[in-house]
Amino acid sequence: MEQLMRDFFLFLSKNKTLTKLAKKYGLRFGASRFVAGETIERAVEVIKDLNKKGLAVTIDYLGEFVDNAKEANEMADNSIEAIRAIGREKLNSQLSLKMTSMGLDISDELVMQNMRRILDAAKENGVFVTIDMEDYSRCQKTLDIFKQLKKEYDNVGTVLQAYLYRTESDIEDLKDYHPNLRLVKGAYKESQEVAFPEKKDVDDNFKKIIKMHLLNGNYTAVATHDDAIIEYTKQLVKEYNIPNDQFEFQMLYGIRPERQEQLVREGYTMRVYVPYGTDWYGYFMRRLAERPANVAFVIKGILRK
């Protein structure tokens, strides 16, 4: 049943008509639990509140199905606006973005142009930029672009997904770039040709790549809400005397906020991924797919209308 719900919400997340409708009608159905707001001004207020609680942030301007250069350039402009707001308001925040939003499905030249514009602005404002990882069909291209950019900029990192068979060799392959990597389980629906179908295997591989990347001496962001993975990381860094400034935990805005604050109290860096913007629908559906229990919030949201 849970798997069916998951597949259903992942299917809904790719629906272009519903995406357009959602943009038109604004944050609805409890989406504001996971999305900081529709404007940068609102997102800045949310970040200030999180920073006051000792939480670091990475901000993400939401955008799905970008399929023309004009939209990709606008997405990049919005990311630059966010970077400038971080600099101006002296926020403790990084920036996250998706390659498809920058024009990955249109042309390599467009992506590189947008990424260089963003990374120049980020450098000027002392902001670190993480390239999110999308579905498997974009993985190789995203890593190729990341490697090219990493040769030119210090302030860029990316994400690897534990559910992919290839990730262990990607950790090895990227090792000498000394990348700051966010490690996650993986949020997309992938075939068993490329990804572990069983949760247990994903969890085991997650632990394996966390250990590999940390012991390679590289900065590791462990992005999960899973206590078993968090505990594993705590034990590992203790066992190998890995300092607290070589790793951090990350969670999504609106998920386990009390646990986020507890990790801060324990002395760890805890970064919250804060999405904002009008294009919230696909992101919201992927969150529901991860945890069908969240659907209860949605139903309450609809009933309140």
Ligand X SMILES: Cc1cc2nc3c(=O)[nH]c(=O)nc-3n(C[C@H](O)[C@H](O)[C@H](O)COP(=O)(O)OP(=O)(O)OC[C@H]3O[C@@H](n4cnc5c(N)ncnc54)[C@H](O)[C@@H]3O)c2cc1C
The annotated binding site for substrate is made up of: 98, 286-287
CB of 178 to ligand X, least distance (A): 20
Block residue for tokens 């969670």: 251
**Is 135 a known active-site residue?**
no
Residue 217 carries which DSSP code?
A: T
Single-letter residue type at 31: A
Residues 230-289 that bind ligand X (CB under 6 A): 250-252, 255-256, 273
Q: Can residue 290 be called a binding residue for ligand X (CB under 6 A)?
A: yes
Q: Can residue 187 be called a binding residue for ligand X (CB under 6 A)?
A: yes
CA distance 139 to 174: 13
Which residues on adjacent β-strands are paired with residue 127? none
Which residues define the annotated binding site?
98, 133, 161, 185-187, 199, 224-225, 286-287
Q: What single string gives the DSSP state of each residue in 242-267?
A: --GGGEEEEEETTSSHHHHHHHHHTT
CB 264 within 8 A of CB 238: no
Which C-beta is closer to ligand X: that of 124 or that of 227? 227
CA distance 249 to 183: 10
**Residue in 185, 220, 276, 283 binding ligand X, rule: CB under 6 A:** 185
Which C-beta is closer to ligand X: that of 47 or that of 184? 184
Buried b (16+ CB within 10 A) or exposed e, 52-69: eeebbbbbbbbbbebeee
Which C-beta is closer to ligand X: that of 5 or that of 69? 5
CB of 137 to ligand X, least distance (A): 13
**Is 120 a known active-site residue?**
no
Q: Which residues are catalytic?
A: 132, 182
> Which residues of this protein are in contact with ligand X, per CB under 6 A?
132-133, 159, 161, 182, 184-188, 223-226, 250-252, 255-256, 273, 290-291
